Amino acid sequence: MNYKRYVDISSDIRDNLHLLKKEKFDLVVGIPRSGMIPAYMIALSLNLNCTTVQAYIKNDKLLHGDTRKVSNPMEYPWEATKVLVVDDSISTGRSLNKLKQTFPPELLKKSTFLAIYSSKPNHSEIDIALQYVSNPRVFEWNIFHHPMLGDSYMEMEGILCQVPTEDQKSTDNRYLEYIRTANTYIVPNHRIKTIITCRKEKYRAETEEWLRINGIKYEQLIMSPSSGKDKSIRSKSSYKIKVKYYKEADAGIFFESDPEEAKQICKVTSKPVYCVGNNRMYTPGILDQVLYDHKFFPKHYMDFKIRYKLFIKMLTSKLAG
């Protein structure tokens, strides 16, 4: 599972700015919604105006602040002679082709289409792709709105709802009130394959009602056995239930809130785990452990390029020895 964060898209744009500068674009156009993030990043870095595709096609007046003057001032998009149209990614290219059909010929002629991430090394449907990122892939900005949720296992507490406080766990009545009124954190807009919770089976009716009220769709809800008094989401029994069901399941990804448990679940199941707590994708394999585990390197070495060089150096040393 390939994963890209906001910090990644920022650095990937920065690493390729010199190539975009050479093209001498005078306007940046973003494809809503995901394309607007990289479009604004590029426009600010190149000190250019930025607008949406819809505003570009309608020639709506360009809007900008008064603090900083753009390098190529203009009032309307059609004044631009070389336009960069930006999206975050491209896969099949069908959506982009459909969009191009809405462009008047004169606008299409002066537009260059860019995707930050392409599913193919050389994609015929795009003019510029900054980086090849193969499928399966997911991004920080769409991970909870992606069809892959239909193939996912997801922890409930810490992701879908708040974690109970010690006070809320102190009595059965307070805990039941928490279950009925817990604040939502993230509400995915796709059906989740399986939700796993540390809540006891005796609270199933209240939990299912909370999920229904908050519009969270799912296929299966796995709860802890009703025996025992432990209400902690970090209990050994809770961890074992996650590992057991995910390992046996035909599921592509697990969503976990705690970094340490995410690492362990990935290690034991040999399956991808996305951790909401530190916004990191854990995938099985020694390379991933070397590149992402803080125990391998001091904190000031956590830049990816430095880590990569250190890994190659370490690997070369081992082979030579």
Q: What is the pLDDT along the chain (321 residues), one digit of tens a residue?
A: 899 999 999 999 999 999 999 999 999 999 999 999 999 999 999 999 999 999 999 999 998 777 778 888 899 999 999 999 999 999 999 999 999 999 999 999 999 999 999 999 999 999 999 999 999 899 999 999 999 999 999 999 999 999 999 999 999 999 999 999 999 999 999 999 999 999 999 999 999 999 999 999 999 999 998 765 555 555 667 888 999 999 999 999 999 999 999 999 999 999 999 999 999 999 987 445 545 444 444 444 445 555 555 566 566 655 665
Instruction: Determine the residue type at 22.
Output: K
In a domain, 300, yes or no: no
Find out whether 274 and 255 touch, Cβ atoms under 8 Å.
yes
Q: Are residues 82 and 16 in the same domain?
A: yes
Write out the two tokens for 210: 């909370």
In a domain, 309, yes or no: no
Domain that holds residue 75: 2-139
If asked whether residues 70 and 36 sit together in one domain, one would say yes
CA distance 232 to 140: 28
Q: Do 131 and 49 sit in the same domain of this protein? A: yes
Query: What pLDDT was estimated at residue 26?
Result: 96
Q: What is the pLDDT of residue 301?
A: 41
Residue with tokens 């003019």: 127
39 contacts 70 by C-beta, under 8 angstroms: no
Residue 299, domain member (yes or no): no
Please tell me whether residues 227 and 148 are part of one structural domain.
Answer: yes
pLDDT of residue 72: 83
> Could you say which of 93, 111, 139 is where a domain stops?
139
Same domain, 8 and 132: yes
Alpha carbons 257 and 66: distance in angstroms, whole number: 42
Say yes or no: 214 and 261 in one domain.
Answer: yes
151 and 61 fall within a common domain: no
pTM for this prediction: 0.81
Q: Is position 235 within any domain?
A: yes
State the total domains in the chain.
Answer: 2
Kindly state the helix (H) or strand (E) to which residue 312 belongs, with its residue range. helix 304-320
- Tokens representing 255? 């969503």
For residue 8, the model assigns a pLDDT of 96
Domain boundary among 104, 139, 174: 139
Is 301 within the bounds of a domain? no
Within a domain: residue 85?
yes
71 three-state secondary structure: coil
Assess whether 8 and 82 both reside in one domain.
yes
Q: Say which CATH number the domain at 54 has.
A: 3.40.50.2020
Which CATH number covers residue 263? Answer: 3.40.50.1000
Q: Ramachandran region of residue 158, left (φ > 0), alpha (ψ -120 to 50) or beta?
A: left
pLDDT given for residue 238 in this prediction: 81
Would you call 113 helix, strand, or coil by DSSP?
strand
pLDDT of residue 220: 97
Is residue 302 a part of any domain in this protein?
no
Do 131 and 148 sit in the same domain of this protein? no
CA–CA separation, 4 and 21 (whole Å): 24
From 108, 139, 170, the end of a domain falls on 139
Shared-domain flag, residues 123 and 148: no
